[in-house]
Amino acid sequence: MANFLIFTSYIVVTLSLANGFINGVDAARAFFVFGDSLVDNGNNNYLATTARADSPPYGIDFPNQEPTGRQEIGSEPPLPYLSPKLKGDKLLVGANFASAGVGILNDTGFQFKLHDLGARKVLVTGTGSMGCAPAELALRGINGECDVELERAASLYNPLLVKMIKRLNKDIGDDVFIAANAHKMQIDFITNPELFGFATSKEACCGQGPYNGVGLCTPLSNLCENRDLYVFWDQFHPSEKANRIIVQQILTGSNDYMHPMNLSTVLAMDSIGV
């Protein structure tokens, strides 16, 4: 069975698939993650930074109130690469290199050739609905409407991402790179929250100020009673329910959301050695 590497940068999520053998035996899948706070499962807890989620009310609905570690496909989640527990057999599960606050520019991020390093399937998520986050409604929005400039940037970015993915796959001669249209996934329930069981897509569950979009989510912030009614958890990040909807689209979404295939198709092909 092939090894998986998950790469993320900023809000770009990459899933890489490479063949791996350990002592001559086909190895189980391993996941490696790179990115920002959307996928940071604890690295920043070991860093001197305010960009971390290891204090209440983060994780309030998760067992033991731990704010990170969920994984939908059922395998053991990889540990943060800074965790002292990441050694021995845990390395075979993979590692999460994501760090809250990381960027995509050369001065904040990093670049390398995934395919040259053995990556065989790379899932890249485009930018989400940047102009509709509570922080942007509070800072830039007019009468609770999404910021037009940021939404225009997102709407331009995602088609260009698909175009780049097609070009890369053509150059390689295989469907290595897969694009996930995160903007469309989010805008569906942002523009029609009631259809998905949400009460609001404007106000964050945790925060302060207009739309609860000002400042960090802390124990002193306003906190909603029912997190499932909110599209956004804090000023930027989707709620757990919203994230589950996004993950399901990544797993089973049509070509409107996933190009050229969804993650379930990738896993099915991997299981039969395609």
224: amino acid identity, one letter: C
Q: Are 179 and 165 in contact (CB under 8 A)?
A: yes
* Active-site residue identified among 9, 37, 99, 129: 37
Question: What's the Rg (C-alpha) of the chain?
Answer: 19
What b/e readout covers 41-72, taking b as 16+ CB neighbours within 10 angstroms? bbbbbeeeeeebbeeebbbeeeeeeebbbeee
Q: Are 158 and 184 in contact (CB under 8 A)?
A: yes
133: amino acid identity, one letter: A
At a CB cut-off of 8 Å and minimum separation 6, what does 241 contact? 197, 198, 227, 228, 230
234: annotated active-site residue: yes
Burial class (CB in 10 A: 0-12, 13-18, 19+), 197: exposed
* Active-site residue identified among 237, 239, 259, 270: 237
* Active-site residue identified among 234, 239, 259, 270: 234
* Contacts of 221-225 spanning 24+ positions with Cβ under 8 A: 221/57, 223/57, 223/60
| HSE-CB for 184 with a 13 A CA cutoff | 17
Q: Are 211 and 134 in contact (CB under 8 A)?
A: yes
54: annotated active-site residue: no
239: annotated active-site residue: no
The helix/strand count (H/E) of the chain reads as 5, 12
Report the alpha-carbon distance of residue 129 to residue 180 in Å, rounded.
13
Report the alpha-carbon distance of residue 160 to residue 36 in Å, rounded.
21
Tell me the catalytic residues. Answer: 37, 234, 237
